[in-house]
Amino acid sequence: MALSKVKGQLERVLDKNLQDLVRGIRNHKENESKYVAECLDEIKNELRQENVAVKAMAVNKLTYLQMCGYDISWAAFNVIEVMSSPKFTFKRIGYLAASLSFHDGTDVLMLTTNMIRKDLSSQGLYDAAVALNGLSCFITPDLARDLANDIMTLMTSTKPYLRKKAVLIMYKVFLQFPEALRPAFPRLKEKLEDADPGVQSAAVNVICELARKNPRNYLALAPLFFKLMTSSTNNWVLIKIIKLFGALTPLEPRLGKKLIEPLTNLIHSTSAMSLLYECINTVIAVLISVSTGIPNHTASIQLCVQKLRILIEDSDQNLKYLGLLAMSKILQTHPKSVQTHKDLILQCLDDKDESIRFRALDLLYGMVSKKNLMEIVKKLMVHMDKAEGTNYRDELLAKIIQICSQSNYQYVTNFEWYVSILVELTRMEGTRHGRLIAAQMLDVAIRVQAIRPFSIAQMAVLLENAHLLANNSQRNGICEVLYAAAWLCGEFPDHLTDPKSVLEAMLKPKITVLPGHIQSVYVQNAIKLYANIIKRAEGEGGLETVRDVGEMLQERLPIFIQSSDLEVQERACCMVQLVKYVLKLQDKGGEAAAGIAEEINALFAGELNPVAPKAQKKVPVPEGLDLDAWINEPPSESSEDDDEKVGGSIFVPTTHDDHRSFYSEPKKKVPELTEEEMQKMKHQRMADQEHNPNYLKPSKGNNKKSSTKEEANGVMEIDLSVPLHVPGFASSDKYMQLENEERRKRKSGKKKKRKKKGAAADSDEDDIPQAHQVSTVEELPEGAEAVSDKEDGGGDELYKKLDIDLDEPLKPGDMLPVPTHRIVSDHTLPEATEPEEGRKHRKKDRGSKKEKKKRKEDKTDKKKHKKKTKATPDEPSLMMEDHEEIDGDNTPLTSPRNTQPPTQVGEENGEKMNDLDFWLSGKDAATPSEPLHGAIMVSEVKVTPLQDLSSDEGAKPDKPDSSTHSKKKNKKEKKEKKEKKEKKSKKSRLRAEGYEETGGITTPSQEQVPPAQADTPVNVKPMSSYRLLAENATIKMTCETRVSPQRGDQVVLSVVFTNFTANIIKNLEFNVMDTLNTKLDRGMGHSNHDAVPVPFVLPPSVSNEGQFAFNVDSLSQPSKLRGTLTYMVKMDDGSTHEKLDFRLTLDCSSFIVAVPCKSTEFASLLGSGDLTEKGTIKCTPVDTNFDGALLRICFYNHFKVVEKVEDSASLYGRSIQGQHLCLLVKHAKGEVTVDGKSSDGSLLSNVLGEIKTVLTSEVL
């Protein structure tokens, strides 16, 4: 047996592995497909073998072929076989292949559910991880539903690596199975404060993705994120959070106000460009959402614009690009501040980088005004001449049109200029935007009535020079403008000077090379012109010319009859008959001929207005018409296929030219309107126009005169100003000169005026008159007004499903489905007992609910509510194990099983909102103009409710306090200190309760949540008071140390500088003398004597915070450093250099991180024998209360309580380099004994010494 195995192995040695395959493909470059086909045969052979190793190798090869574009879905089953191998090596190969090739439509996926479940609950760390990796790529709704519960379990795994992945994959689960969101959300929220930074970042990631699509539901998390933002040092997390805030602020302007301070601080202090950029982005979002109300909001804008300018001027193209991108966001709301940088942006148009040019173009869009439109367009035209690459040129063309036509031609003051620009644009070779130009021509000519004569004349010129444009007859090419030209000339022939020559131009044989839809317009409008010629002739009596024209038509139209385009053919036939008829009548002469003109013109009578874009949608459905009802019986399923083919050809018109739909729009009339209705509509429209302030009433007489005059002018002058091209085309340049002259005149006039008036407020923007008026009449169907303008945003269905209210308490239905049969047997036991227990819970819940109601009636204080919701463990409780946990006496509101009366739900919601309100208003009320203490204030807000819970007496006197002290803050510093002390003692009381609670509940089944996590003073930590570092009459420094668990060699010193003077302090430089062990991180390229500049200036009586990193080698000794702060005080009469010396002590406690530790882990750690060093101290603490003493140790020395039993407690802490520190604190007769164990003796003794100081000193 064993022998045959070995033999099999040896044979397999000669099989081709992945490397061989790759090598083979590289060696067979000329006949790759043949070689691959051979290999595929081999692989198929190998997949048939029993040996898993062979299969795995085959699958591995398939993954490579998949990348090369070969379909490998046929091997799906074999992939699953390899996935199910117990060996990690093969499993990994299998999951990789699956993640690359499986998708929703892979039918064998349903076979994998149990296998994946087994892998997820596997003991091997990497088995589960690999399964999660794979699952994240091919998860389907079914898999998500069936596995949600298992992934939820993994979210509480003891291994951060798995927790991280489980948290992240939850997003995919939510997408596929939205029902999971509500039950899973509490746990997800919990992970935001996970001890492991990776898990935390994953949770932030997931919530940010969720919130991006449905931000409203996540507003309630804002305080939590705010806390994270002020405490986190991980730039990735910060960026995500800041981006999230950007999405949230539009919904809650107050949030923006709160954000602006910390964000501007970050902008000042951060050195990471990515963070800086995101901060600016979010500040912009804030400023957009709150355009008023922020005191220094122009300052913020200025700051942003100024920083962006630096980015744009940077030599790094990436920064330049991003700077422009962000600039365009500011532009939307604060165009003025961007317009000052016009020079810079125009300069970017010349950049060699296309992305940057496009961005700059985007900005131009917002920078135009009536004043500079001509100038900017001129510049763009120049660029267009120079630009190489049709792509960029097209973009420029589209941009010009967009700039000019934006908000209903708001900035176009002279439409003759605009029409000339459009005509000039037609000379652009090879553009794809012919249709766009044509649409503009139509739009302008139709809506700006005063310009018609001029634009018709231009169109006539275009038609006569059609041979220049018709050359490139490609789709959407420039020949499209002929469509507009022909139609306009036909529609408004009265403005033509010589309709006959135009008609001749339209019937040149060369026209037949044009696309069909243009030809048909030609034919149709030729007749319109004919009708007009007859009409004119009747007035003058020039019957001869009419006959000539008729004969010419008869001669030339037949070409069109032979057209291959149906539409052209049909129209041409009609027209030929019509002409014949007219000629016949004219031959008869006399009476018959007299009425001809009128009759023919009646064919084309009627004014045409553009149809409103949504007109079709707004046609009201007549009563009694059900559009969904079948007219005939639906066809039976079986015959569907045959029917479709036949039906398709019969009923569906062959849409070979889809442009129809586009072009027919302006001509479209609402069908079936009777005369009466039309009349009614017209009246209504008139009435509407009267009352509509947007409608510009035409004042024809005046304009017409001037424009006709200018028209003559325009036609004459062309040849002079435009060096080449077709004679007759108007040039746009002269309008610019004209405009400039006028402006000069106006300006001089205005100057005089201003002198009289004093400072005139507004810019001369409004003074520039618009030469022509744009009509805004649009055709709408009868009854349309009643229908509201509802957007039917076709948005992502996928994300809409995730729009779930998360604040609403869980309902009985909100549970993850628990599979009825599963491989893991752990869970089946509690499930069996579920019904009974569930009932019990409900009873208990009801009891406590009553109690709560009573309490609620007692106090109307918001804070109280807040605590209550806080106190209820928002546990997801999908599984019964969790349920038992919740079974505490204060749980009920969010417990999933109890049904709640709807009124209470509402109340609860209101409360949640109030929480947010409270948080948002908190800072405004407490510190109206204190820039710095953001973090501290938050923590205060957080702390107050805690007191409320602990004792009712405590809450009452405190309430007025917190509101009054905000007002008189600076006067009451001493009092404040006292208050703080009080708070501390209260807190400790509370905490004692907390411990008892958790201690009491601790049951074996609770393993998943470390007991310390529930209510220990994690929340208190940001309270951390800053120590005084040094102080003199001008400046004060207080500092705090921060460490991050990821960096074992770094301590960040956060120093708050406070300016006491009424002068600006600048050029702050921070320096310390490095010791062997501790060195200030000065950044690259600086010697160890250089000072670190503080990245801000201090305005009078303002505080700001700077951070300095220290690199530390060994942690076992405290570091004592001497340092100097130099700065410059800028006074009215010059400035003085000053310095302030200080001594900085980095004690050992500052290297310790409070890491949660379970009592079992703690015990095994003590028992492992690694902790060889011991130490003991004894002291009499100032806090006679044992809990107070514990709190101090936890707070100042960064320990975490593992377990507390009566008068003794075990504490755990870990240094950033991973040394464990275990303490046993005992309390007896007012004396505290601390026994410590650690792997590092000197660290331990130092820390113990520090603990002693902490416990015995009065004020810290």
Partner 1 sequence: MIKAILVFNNHGKPRMSRFYQYYPEDMQQQIVRETFHLVSKRDDNVCNFLEGGTLIGGSDFKIIYRHYATLYFVFCVDSSESELGILDLIQVFVETLDKCFENVCELDLIFHVDKVHYILAELVMGGMVLETNMTEIITRIEEQNKLEKSEAGIAAAPARAMSAMKDMNIPQKIKDMKLPDLPSIGNLKF
Tokens of 252: 């809650």
| 188 scored as a contact of partner 1 (CB under 8 A) | no
Half-sphere exposure of 15 (CA within 13 A, CB side): 24
Question: Given candidates 352, 386, 974, 1229, which one binds partner 1 under the rule CB under 8 A?
Answer: 352
CB of 239 to partner 1, least distance (A): 5
For partner 1, the binding residue among 501, 833, 1003, 1046 (CB under 8 A) is: 1046
Our finding on whether 398 is near partner 1 (CB under 8 A) is: no
The answer to whether residue 697 forms part of the interface with partner 1 (CB under 8 A) is no
User: Residues 136 to 165: which contact partner 1 by CB under 8 A?
Assistant: 136-137, 139, 161, 164-165
From first CA to last CA, the distance across the chain in angstroms is: 76
Query: Is 277 one of the binding residues for partner 1 (CB under 8 A)?
Result: yes
| Number of Cβ within a 10 Å radius of residue 1254 | 20
Helix axes of 516-540 and 480-491: crossing angle, nearest 10 degrees: 20
How many chain residues are in contact with partner 1, going by CB under 8 A?
71
Least spacing, CB of residue 388 vs partner 1, in Å: 13
Euclidean distance between CA atoms 245 and 252, whole angstroms: 10
Q: Which is nearer to partner 1, 278 or 958 (CB)?
A: 278
- Which member of 45, 158, 274, 706 binds partner 1 (CB under 8 A)? 274
Q: Largest Cα–Cα distance of the chain, in whole Å?
A: 134
- Binding window for partner 1 (CB under 8 A); candidates: 207-215, 671-679, 1093-1101, 1221-1229: 207-215
**Closest approach of partner 1 to the CB of residue 89, in Å:** 5
How far is Cα 21 from Cα 41, in angstroms, rounded to an integer? Answer: 13
Beta bridge partners of 1078: 1112
Is residue 93 part of the contact set for partner 1 (CB under 8 A)? yes
Listed residue (192, 237, 279) closest to 1046, CA to CA:
237
Q: Is 216 in the site for partner 1 (CB under 8 A)?
A: no
Closest CA to 942 of 191, 255, 223: 223
Residue 104 touches partner 1, criterion: CB under 8 A: yes
In angstroms, rounded to a whole number, what is the distance separating the alpha carbons of residues 438 and 1248? Answer: 84
Which residues, numbered 562-581, are part of the site for partner 1 (CB under 8 A)?
A: none
Name the amino acid, one letter, at 1184: T
Is residue 317 close enough to count as binding partner 1 by CB under 8 A? yes
Distance of CA 52 to the CA centre of its chain: 46
Q: Please identify, among the stretches 22-30, 400-408, 882-890, 1118-1126, the one whose residues bind partner 1 according to the rule CB under 8 A.
A: 22-30
User: Smallest distance, Å, CB 795 to partner 1?
Assistant: 12
Amino acid identity of residue 542, one-letter, is G
DSSP state of 304: H
Task: Give, as ranges, the residues between 70 and 89 that touch partner 1 (CB under 8 A).
Answer: 70-72, 87-89
Can you list the alpha helix ranges (DSSP code H) found in 557-699?
Answer: 558-561, 566-588, 591-594, 596-603, 615-618, 640-651, 659-667, 675-691
* Pair of tokens at residue 1060: 């006491």
Give the tokens for residue 1071. Answer: 């320096």
Among the residue ranges 19-27, 810-818, 1005-1013, 1155-1163, the one whose residues contact partner 1 (CB under 8 A) = 19-27
Strand order in the sheet with 1103-1112: 1027-1031, 1035-1043, 1050-1059, 1103-1112, 1078-1080
| Distance, CA of 222 to CA of 567 (rounded, Å) | 62
Q: What share of the chain is helix, strand, coil (3-state, %, to 5)?
A: 60, 10, 30
Work out whether strand 1208-1215 and strand 1134-1146 pair parallel, antiparallel, or are unpaired: unpaired
Q: Are 187 and 876 within 8 A, CB to CB?
A: yes
Does 320 engage in binding with partner 1 (CB under 8 A)?
Answer: yes
Under a CB-based contact definition with an 8 Å cutoff, are residues 95 and 131 in contact? yes
Q: Which is nearer to partner 1, 619 or 1153 (CB)?
A: 1153
Q: Which of 212, 155, 252, 249 is nearest to 802 (CA)?
A: 212
* Residue 1005 contacts partner 1 per CB under 8 A: no
Contacts of 234 (CB under 8 A, 6+ apart): 197, 200, 201, 1044, 1046
In DSSP terms, which residues pair with 1039 in a beta bridge? 1027, 1055
Which residue in the set 42, 51, 216, 236 belongs to the binding site for partner 1 (CB under 8 A)?
236
Is residue 92 a contact residue for partner 1 (CB under 8 A)? Answer: yes
Find the part of the chain contacting partner 1 (CB under 8 A) among 355-363, 380-388, 525-533, 733-741.
355-363
Q: Between 32 and 930, whose beta carbon lies closer to partner 1?
A: 32
Q: Min. distance of Cβ 238 from partner 1 in angstroms?
A: 10
Among 150, 194, 209, 881, binds partner 1 (CB under 8 A): 209
Regarding 218 and contact with partner 1 (CB under 8 A), the answer is no
Smallest separation (angstroms) from partner 1 to the CB of 103? 4
Cβ of residue 48: shortest distance to partner 1, in angstroms?
20
Residue choice 28, 159, 216, 243 for contact with partner 1 (CB under 8 A): 243
Beta bridge pairs of residue 1208: 1205, 1226
- Interface with partner 1, residue 126, by CB under 8 A: yes
Q: What tokens does 539 get? A: 């007035």
Residue in 39, 80, 151, 208 binding partner 1, rule: CB under 8 A: 208
The closest of 939, 1130, 1053 to 226, measured between CA atoms, is: 939
List the interface residues with partner 1, window 286-305 (CB under 8 A).
Answer: none
67 touches partner 1 by CB under 8 A: yes
Please state the closest distance from residue 181 (CB atom) to partner 1, in A.
Answer: 16
* Positions in 357-386 near partner 1 (CB under 8 A): 358
DSSP per-residue codes, 909-940: HHHHHHHHHHHHHHHHHH-TT--STHHHHHHH
Interacting span for partner 1 (CB under 8 A) from 316-324, 1002-1010, 1160-1168, 1230-1238: 316-324
Rule CB under 8 A: is residue 318 a binding residue for partner 1?
yes
Stretch of 317-325, 372-380, 422-430, 617-625 contacting partner 1, by CB under 8 A: 317-325
926, 937 Cβ separation under 8 angstroms = yes
Q: Does 350 bind partner 1 (CB under 8 A)?
A: no
Q: Kindly state whether residue 225 participates in binding partner 1, applying the rule CB under 8 A.
A: no
Report the residue number, 144 or 1121, with the smaller CB distance to partner 1: 144
Q: How far apart are alpha carbons 648 and 660 in whole angstroms?
A: 20
Kindly tell me which residue out of 24, 198, 783, 1022 binds partner 1, with binding defined by CB under 8 A: 198
By CB under 8 A, tell whether 1199 contacts partner 1. Answer: no
52 counts as binding partner 1 under rule CB under 8 A: no
Q: Which is nearer to partner 1, 106 or 289 (CB)?
A: 106
How many beta carbons lie within 10 A of that of residue 2, not counting itself? 6
Rule CB under 8 A: say whether 278 interacts with partner 1.
yes
* Nearest distance in Å: CB 940, partner 1: 32
Could you give the count of Cα atoms lying within 13 Å of 554 in the half-sphere of its Cβ? 14
Q: Which of 81, 817, 233, 139 is nearest to 166 (CA)?
A: 139
Contact with partner 1 (CB under 8 A) among 83, 128, 132, 154: 132
Q: Which residues pair with 1080 in a beta bridge?
A: 1110
Q: How many residues does the chain have?
A: 1260
Binding to partner 1 by residue 356, rule CB under 8 A?
A: yes
**Using CB under 8 A, which of 353, 551, 555, 643 touches partner 1?**
353
Interacting stretch for partner 1, rule CB under 8 A, among 16-24, 521-529, 646-654, 927-935? 16-24
For residue 399, state whether it binds partner 1 (rule: CB under 8 A): no
Q: State which of residues 52, 224, 251, 273 lies at the interface with partner 1 (CB under 8 A).
A: 273
CA 268 to chain centroid: 24
Three-state DSSP at 56 gives: helix
Stretch that binds partner 1, among 231-239, 566-574, 848-856, 913-921 (CB under 8 A): 231-239
- At residue 69, the 3 state secondary structure works out as coil
191 touches partner 1 by CB under 8 A: no
Residue 13 or residue 1259: which is nearer to partner 1 going by CB? 13
Q: Does 17 bind partner 1 (CB under 8 A)?
A: yes
